[in-house]
Structure 1
Amino acid sequence: MQRILINIPPTRALGFCLALTLFELTTYMASDMIMPAMLKVIHTFNADSRHVPYAFNLYLLGGVCLQGLIGPLSDQLGRRRMLLAGCALFSAACAAAFAAGSIEAFNLLRLVQGMSLGFVVAVSYPALQEVFCEADAVRLMALLGNVALLSPLLGPLVGTLLLEWLDWRELFLMLGLVAALAWLGLYAFMPETVGALRRDGKRLASIPFSWRHTRQRYQALLGNHRFLAASLALGLMSLPLIAWIGLAPVLLMQQQGLTPLAYGLWQIPVFAAVIVGNLLLDRLLLTHPLPRLVSLALWPFCLGLGALIVCSQLGAGLQAVVASLALYAVGLGMSNAALYRLALFCSEDSKGLVSALIGMLSITVMGAGGALIAASGGGNSLSLFALWAAGGGLLALPLLLGFLSNNTSHSASTP
């Protein structure tokens, strides 16, 4: 069992990890399982196809809406109480999608459902860092990333199969029920880390909430150039993958004329590559410091994005674009959890607030960047998508190089 830093039984820590995994997987499935049905959704409401990527980007931006409040509140009220509230909100919003009567109501519910991402990032991730030691926390983050990536990998396929028997409304109702099951698991097993006595004798004290004090703490974080560079780089590095998730239904089913099943199968190489990157991270953690791991990940990351640019100039087909995305995705999988840990410990402030700002910055970059790629014609052809997605991802390089240059002599601090 992982090295647990607070006084809870290993079985409870395991139950917490499993319940958290189910909640995180369900939040992503709420997006990816419905993607094959998005053309049916817009047909139901007689809406334009532009709502396909917009609905996905609204889901991402929903994750930003409450994070600035969720993180500081969890520092005072506790991680457990806030995560239970977020899980309940997500379950209710999924169930409400069953009765949506217009594309506007549907998009609003997507925004509310996306708020669950704020609870995952600003509450559950700091809790993991506080329960487990550094190496195990990074390993668990990577493993959770693998589980979450099963959603875009399997979600389109599972959604396609379920749509043979269920309506898209019933899919959302089913997701709401699964989220309710995750809530029960979190209620039974999640420990409270705020105020808990650690095995090293330290106690993580709660921080009273104050609008003025919170604003000052956020301002101080925004003035931390290393933190800012790492947080923005997290969003930019994920941008090509996020753009692919949002635009793939239009590019593959509408532009290429593929069936929903074929669309789902073309997701497998990309997301399997991210999982491969995460497994490489798990292996290399034993012998490499975190900044070195991020530096190594830049090789497949840059080669994949460079290949995407070549694809855009040569007008390459779907196979070449997906192969390039897969190479990039290996680098993303190798770096994401390590870079998150480095960003989290760029500041000595409470991890709920720091994690909230990481999430707000990175998700804003992903959501706004995805919307810009869609508005710039990224959904019109594979060549335009490849060009804009690669350009967005490569914007992370200056930030990463500056950040890593300040981390050559040390790795993330142990909490």
Structure 2
Amino acid sequence: MQNAPTRTLNRTTLMFPLALVLFELATYIGNDLIQPAMLPITQYFGVSTTLAPSAMSLYLLGGACVAWLFGPLSDRYGRKKVLLAGVLFFTISCVLILFTQNMSQFLILRFLQGSGLTIVSAVGYAAVQESFEEKDAVKVMALMTNLSLLAPLLGPVLGAFLISHISWHWGFVFIALISLISWFGLKQAMPEIKPTVHEQKTLPELFKGFKAVYSDRHFLSLAVALPLVVLPLMLWIAISPIILVDELKLSSLQYGLFQIPVFAGLILGNIVLIKVVDRYELGKTIFVGFPIMLLGAVIASTALIWPALVIPLLLVGLTLVSFGEGIAVSVVFRSAFASSELPKGTVAASMSMLNMTCFFVGIEVVRILYSHFHMAAYLLMSIVVILIWFTFPRRALIKEMQKRKKQA
């Protein structure tokens, strides 16, 4: 375990998560600002528009492929050193993409940029969980989520502006600048969380921790709830440019405006979570969030029956999906993270790899199915993903909450 003095939430201790969320914002904008521009980018490189979602799936896969490294490294050498190195690597990769000459080079750089997602989840989130008391950590995570949601709120609109008036290249310049500012903020505000002598093991020994983590069925049952709660909205981000612009013939600006109420629902859900987390047993909001998500997915799917109402039905349904995610996701993360006693860098990295692998597979499956079933592929996949939570992950959560009661 790391030497991490638990701190209470105040203006001084809040500076570290604010600096971290600025980098998280950069990694999210690295997707949300670029996705609206992917159709013009495929045209720019002279390739099929069906490759547009691959820019996001490879971005996520890049994060999954390096999570195994960053988590154990941060356990061994300290969170701060690894986090700062990762932020700098992400910044450099955003600059290098400006010089790509073809789609293959572009996708390779997108893969490398995905490391930023892992730096946030496997190192940054672990440091936040270790630095704050349990319910303060949930509040900080919810607050960070709200601030990072500026990316999906503003990203599509800014992306549409780039398409219409400037060039997609400037989007990566903007992302690199945000990332660099975050690097300076983290250098100043992030606490030094150094490993104990007990954790000074060889890297092969540290990697064995992954086997122990993934052998814990209870942990896996809790951890799989995180991709389940996030995947419906993640799939929407990846596939929505094709659905809204190609299939439903909205303009780039209309595409951007459509996303605002959807992600406003996520922000509202996080605000509700912050307000109620002290009143109820940790985990209760998850039992509310998933049914709301299921209701939203069903409403959105009725657009397949009433095509004349496709826009309002999608809008209402997806807003409910995002609201349900907002009141559940931070607690889902905490429940899984706290359920394992292994080094937290390894635990966070294991969760990150699981999440991003699920995101990559989900996006690629929907991308392939879309060519045959169009919008129905996304809508029905979302319902299936949400329904999975009502099986073994729900039972694992009930078991974890009963265990907490006995310990209390």
Tell me the TM-score normalised to structure 2 length: 0.93
Q: Which residue of 1 aligns with 2:62?
A: 62
* Per-residue Cα deviation, 1:60-98 (whole angstroms, up to 9, x for no partner): 111111111110110111100001011001100111111
Distance 1:220 1:7, change over 3 A: closer
Measured on the aligned residues, the alpha-carbon RMSD in Å equals: 2.3
Distance 1:206 1:106, change over 3 A: farther
Question: Conserved in 1, the CA contact under 8 Å of 2:59 and 2:111?
Answer: yes
Q: Are 1:363 and 2:356 matched, yes or no?
A: yes
Q: Are 1:374 and 2:374 matched, yes or no?
A: no
Q: CA deviation at 1:412?
A: 9.6
Separation of aligned partners in 1, 2:244 and 2:184: 38
Separation of aligned partners in 2, 1:91 and 1:141: 23
Q: CA deviation at 1:9?
A: 11
Separation of aligned partners in 2, 1:30 and 1:412: 41
2:318 to 317, 325, 333: 325
Q: CA deviation at 1:361?
A: 0.5
Q: Which residue of 1 aligns with 2:250?
A: 258
Separation of aligned partners in 2, 1:413 and 1:221: 23
Q: Which residue of 1 aligns with 2:18?
A: 18
Question: Conserved in 1, the CA contact under 8 Å of 2:239 and 2:367?
Answer: yes
Q: CA deviation at 1:163?
A: 4.1
Question: Conserved in 2, the CA contact under 8 Å of 1:63 and 1:360?
Answer: yes
Q: CA deviation at 1:232?
A: 1.5
Q: Which residue of 1 aligns with 2:112?
A: 112
Q: CA deviation at 1:309?
A: 4.0
Q: Which residue of 2 aligns with 1:285?
A: 277
Separation of aligned partners in 1, 2:250 and 2:326: 28
Q: CA deviation at 1:408?
A: 3.5
1:395 match: secondary structure: helix
Question: Conserved in 2, the CA contact under 8 Å of 1:42 and 1:51?
Answer: yes
Residue identity matched to 2:192: E
Question: Conserved in 1, the CA contact under 8 Å of 2:8 and 2:133?
Answer: no
1:270 to 262, 265, 279: 262
Residue identity matched to 1:226: H
Aligned pairs for 1:291-302 (under 5 A) are 291-302=283-294
* Unaligned ranges ≥5, structure 1: 196-203
Residue identity matched to 1:148: S
Q: CA deviation at 1:213?
A: 2.2
* Per-residue Cα deviation, 1:236-278 (whole angstroms, up to 9, x for no partner): 2211111100011111111111111100011112111111111
* Per-residue Cα deviation, 1:370-409 (whole angstroms, up to 9, x for no partner): 1101111179633332122222232232132221221242
Residue identity matched to 2:273: L
Distance 1:241 1:213, change over 3 A: same
Q: Which residue of 2 aligns with 1:341?
A: 334
Residue identity matched to 1:301: M
Question: Conserved in 1, the CA contact under 8 Å of 2:269 and 2:324?
Answer: yes
Q: Are 1:77 and 2:77 matched, yes or no?
A: yes
Question: Conserved in 1, the CA contact under 8 Å of 2:210 and 2:350?
Answer: yes
Larger mean CA deviation between 334-343 and 158-167 belongs to 158-167
* Per-residue Cα deviation, 1:75-124 (whole angstroms, up to 9, x for no partner): 11110000101100110011111111110000011111111111100110
Residue identity matched to 1:221: V
Separation of aligned partners in 1, 2:348 and 2:326: 19
2:200 match: secondary structure: coil
- Count matched residues: 403
Residue identity matched to 2:266: V
